[in-house]
Structure 1
Amino acid sequence: MTDTFPRVRKHERGYAAEEVEEFLARAREAYAAPRGEQTAIGAQQIRDTTFTIVRRGYSATHVDAALERLEDAFATRERERALHADEVGWYGDARGLAQIVLDRLSRPAGQRFARSSVFAQGYRRRDVDRFANRISRYLENGKPLNLEDVRTVTFRAQRGGYRERQVDYLLDSVVSVMLAVRAS
């Protein structure tokens, strides 16, 4: 059997190949499912997928890029099906999620998310707040913000910084909004 993705070097770590292959097989099955059939995999599940890190695994960079394309394909299909069924509801859901994001980001800088303890690392508040302002400008005024920018943003660490889980959840919500409203 040939590898779907390049493997990392001998002493490096990457994603467990068997897990990646199994997930991709389930994703192909879900994508090929008939229109009305409920599947266990969708754009959100793809975004939330994690793999075990092992020696000589698949290159995370290559797998992550493929997962982003797969997420885009599922999101486009979900959007088309939802628009066909209920266009007003689909856009209403996206607007509602965007409003939740904006409500969170309307808090004062330095107070937008819960903070980690002074003994634990979190995301640097200033970095997150700066990116949060970009998100707000995108949602409120349509200022340019690339989906790739949201997916790949990184923040420096800081003791007592913002809790990573909350920030990551908000970023996932922004990706959901962007995928829901982009032009087909």
Structure 2
Amino acid sequence: MTLPSAEAPADSTSDPQPPAFPETQGRTKGYEKRAVDAFLARARDAFEADSTDALTAEDVRTAAFPLVRHGYAIAAVDAALGRVEDAFAAREREHSMSTGGAGVWVEKTREEAQEILDRVNRPRGRRFARAGFLRYGYRIDEVDLVSDKIAGYLASGEPVTVEQVRSVAFRMQRGGYREAQVDALLDGVVEVMLAVG
């Protein structure tokens, strides 16, 4: 298995190539090109080395890049990173199943899914810790709505896609839910979804 060539940056020693992704125009900021290219080169090397320790699906999901003018378009890079994460997750699933067996993998995934379900089944407005009264956090009603959809997915298989979870965004409010907790739960949902393939 190889990473799709669209995600790989051009070899800097060869003839000049067009940018790997569309570039932002005007005042719009995008991801800093060298940081993206370096990360994707690292991902390609780790994937081709077939090492499950060098880089993980979680590393890909949590990658962050500086924002600059005339950078790579964020949506295009995020979509490519999603495909790279999918490839790493599939390889990790195969590796885990071959070393520990399908039963161990299923049980681990079931436990992670139950932890998430326990969290999103808490009463609305009390599912996550709150930011301080004078601090901003994610809007409670929006997070609770997404939490309800996740609960439906985990409990009864209601349709939710990995891309929907990856692309969810919340507005801010004073005293809202703490961003770090919500983001960690969404990362966990993605992990479970990728684990079940």
Q: TM-score, normalised by structure 1?
A: 0.93
2:99 aligned with 1:91, yes or no? Answer: no
1:121-178 CA deviation, whole Å, 9 max, x = no partner? 1111111111101111111111111111111112222111101111011000000000
**Structure 2 Cα separation of the partners of residues 60 and 91 of structure 1:** 34
- Match for residue 31 of structure 1? 47
Larger RCO: Structure 1 or Structure 2 (Cα < 8 Å, ≥ 6 residues apart)? 1
What is the CA RMSD across the aligned residues, in angstroms? 1.2
Structure 2 gap ranges (5+):
1-15
1:56-108 CA deviation, whole Å, 9 max, x = no partner? 11111110010001101111111122222221111111111111111211211
1:65 counterpart (79, 97, 100): 79
1:121 counterpart (119, 136, 140): 136
Corresponding residue SS for 2:128: coil
**Structure 2 Cα separation of the partners of residues 21 and 105 of structure 1:** 37
2:92 aligned with 1:78, yes or no? Answer: yes
- Match for residue 41 of structure 1? 55
**Structure 2 Cα separation of the partners of residues 136 and 70 of structure 1:** 27
Q: TM-score, normalised by structure 2?
A: 0.87
Identity, % of aligned pairs?
A: 48
Assess, with a 3 A threshold, how the Cα gap between structure 1 residues 181 and 38 changes in structure 2: closer, same or farther: closer
Q: Is the 8 A contact 2:30 2:72 kept in 1?
A: yes
